[in-house]
Chains A and B, each alone.
Chain A
């Protein structure tokens, strides 16, 4: 019973993390049809930015409660700047090329940014545990839960609700939906697709950085953290269906629970569970759970 409860809570926390990193990736893919490998860099920069922010904050004599907000704001600012520079400076030049070629462009950018991290922050790792410690923990029965983990789940829920509301009930969201559905027709109806692209990419970048920022207190911020994120986020997004927000949510939940179950019941298969689930889903539904079959254009 305790194990089942532990699996459920661990799974939810992991799913929250996966959803936060996957939503930016799926948004950019849905609108721009770009699989953005640089998302891993956004995550890494977000985490490093947050670690720096926590460092500054711990030295200054400010109230502890605001530290978390300061950390998130700084990380998202990093994401904003990187998003604008990349979209306007580079991606704009390669729109219209093969999807795979654009993946390679983002891959090349990812490689460059990995070394930029070394240039800015050096090769040592950073710890940013203060917010996690400050948040404390609660006990439910025999199980100790960190308040920070609960906050993480809350952030994921808020993000999901916000995305749902923005896409369904705001003017900009409706415009975005038309672009997702058919870019050319949307442009023909006078929607400024260029602007939508830039906005989407920047929002996606900020979400990636946010993912890094909220995870920074839980992990050791070190080189190479961006890589794992790309593969994980892709697995989540592929299960749910590329470009689908609700798909990312369901994908994150499936992967999160399965991984937690593996960690508690059979730790040695933890690494393959995610890919195993992905392979199973894709065998049954080749393009993910939430994507309709596309008619092939001749």
Chain B
């Protein structure tokens, strides 16, 4: 079964990479953003498997983005590989520090404390005049190990770059899910105390998950900053976090692939919905979220599992 999933994932990856030069430019840039955000969602999936929801994942997203933007601004250093790695590391360090506080909490407190932390960053950035306050500032175009593309080539390079990082992240997170610490996610969600009786520190596992989610959030933010070419405090605002949570619930915690598909669907629906009914975007979002919770509590990913079960039931 696992090999079949890996095969499907690999084929989808190759298809996504090969189809890009044929697609119009706006589709490529939309997909790049979607796949950058998918990393943040993947981090939320890691948490969601233990029943934790972070309403403040935008904190790491924003830190990743600002790390990249500030390095470019102050040093003129533009290599995308190093920048994105530093974005991930920066967010990871913050997550490790914040984790000492967060890992003590569950459920609502975990969600709302994350939210409060991200809003603190938002407040700091809005008040910081040197970083452009609410307007933010722009990020100059990245280079890839000395290669400096422009125009359409830049879009494609960023897209492939994002896709490659996504693939690595997907493989690593998949491996984490199958590891002992990863497999304990559902038991922790069901009954934490029994897990502790096994001699495992639940706090430490959750701290690890916060850091993993933080690093993924930072990578996503760093990629988004390079793709958009601009950073602003809204990246840390609660609506940004809300969007990520939305995709997580929609995708479900069942599989790694769901995060990527969910994020792509979300970006597409958003760009169409904003075009067709600009004023009612939040209403659409809220309604879909409600319907998902009420009728599809395990997310879109569970539809695949359901289909497969039906297939297996056939003689």
Residues on A close to B: CB < 8 A?
A: 35, 90, 93-94, 97-101, 103-105, 107-112, 114-116, 118-119, 123, 227, 231, 234-235, 238, 242, 268, 271-272, 275, 278-279, 282-283, 286-287, 296, 298
Contact = CB atoms under 8 A, between A and B. Distances in A.
Contact of A107 (B192, B242, B297): B242
Given A111-B283, A111-B289, A118-B279, A103 B111 contact: yes
Contacts of B294: 93-94
A298 B282 contact: no
Interface stretch (B117-125, B159-167, B306-314): B117-125
Nearest to B189: A98
A104 B116 contact: no
Contact of A99 (B108, B116, B192, B282): B108
Contacts of A298: 191, 193-194
A124 B274 CA distance: 20
Contacts of A110: 286
Contacts of B238: 227, 231
B187 to A, nearest CB: 13
B109 A108 contact: no
B253 interface: no
Contact of A111 (B108, B126, B285): B285
B116 A278 contact: yes
B245 interface: yes
Nearest to B104: A286
Contacts of A109: 286, 290
A112 B105 CA distance: 29
B287 interface: yes
A286 B105 CA distance: 8
Contact of A104 (B53, B126, B193, B279): B53
A62 B120 CA distance: 46
B293 A112 contact: no
B240 to A, nearest CB: 13
B193 A296 contact: yes
Q: Nearest 5 pairs between A and B by C-beta?
A: A111-B286, A271-B123, A112-B286, A115-B283, A108-B289
6 contacts: A98-B107, A101-B293, A109-B286, A123-B279, A234-B112, A298-B191
Contacts of B124: 271-272
Contacts of A238: 109, 112-113
B290 to A, nearest CB: 4
Given A111-B282, A272-B120, A272-B123, 4 more contacts: A108-B293, A109-B286, A116-B283, A118-B279
Contacts of B52: 100
A107 B53 CA distance: 13
B107 A99 contact: yes
B305 interface: no
Contacts of B285: 108, 111
A282 B107 CA distance: 15
